């Protein structure tokens, strides 16, 4: 990869956000953190897309399902892979996330190496 991949992390839990930021930056990614749905929505509307979005489902103000709908409604962001993170582990939640436009779904607590492997699937350089 010639350029550093940028990952937008939308996570309200400060401890999980710190872990995610550390993991991503340690792997050489540029990570941008938004701590709530309102900040994430404003970011999506006003900025060029990152290479990937890590999106929590349960967020203050605007939930992850609303954020993914906003992402998919922005022409420049439509092709951006979105991995949703959630503590909810039911088939209904998984189906809802995938139907909303998520590319993948990771259950918290996640295993760091598994999460990084999933990220790498979407951040491979174009052939």
* Domain harbouring 111, CATH code: 3.40.50.2300
**pLDDT by residue (tens digit) across 29-62?**
999 999 999 999 999 999 999 999 999 999 999 9
Q: Is 51 part of any domain?
A: yes
Cis peptide leading into residue 109 (ω within 30°) = yes
pTM of the model: 0.93
Q: Is residue 69 part of a domain?
A: yes
The domain in which residue 90 lies consists of 6-122
DSSP H/E element including 84: strand 82-86
The pLDDT of residue 90 is 80
Domain count, the chain: 1
Q: What is the largest CA-CA distance in the chain?
A: 39
1 domain-assigned: no
Residue 127 lies in a domain: no
Residue 115 within any structural domain of the chain: yes
How confident is the model at residue 3, as a pLDDT? Answer: 65
Q: How confident is the model at residue 66 (pLDDT cuts 50, 70, 90)?
A: very high
Average per-residue pLDDT in the chain? Answer: 92
């Amino acid at each position: 990869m010639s350029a550093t991949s940028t990952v937008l992390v939308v996570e309200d839990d400060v401890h999980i956000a710190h872990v995610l930021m550390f993991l991503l930056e340690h792997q050489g990614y540029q990570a941008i953190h938004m701590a709530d749905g309102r900040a994430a929505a404003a970011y999506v509307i006003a900025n060029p897309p990152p290479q990937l979005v890590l999106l929590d489902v349960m967020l203050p103000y605007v939930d992850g399902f609303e954020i993914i709908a906003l992402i998919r409604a922005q022409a420049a962001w439509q092709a951006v892979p979105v991995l949703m993170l959630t503590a909810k582990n039911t088939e209904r939640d998984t189906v809802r996330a995938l139907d909303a436009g998520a590319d993948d779904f990771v259950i918290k607590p996640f295993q760091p190496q598994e999460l990084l492997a999933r990220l790498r699937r979407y951040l491979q350089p174009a052939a």
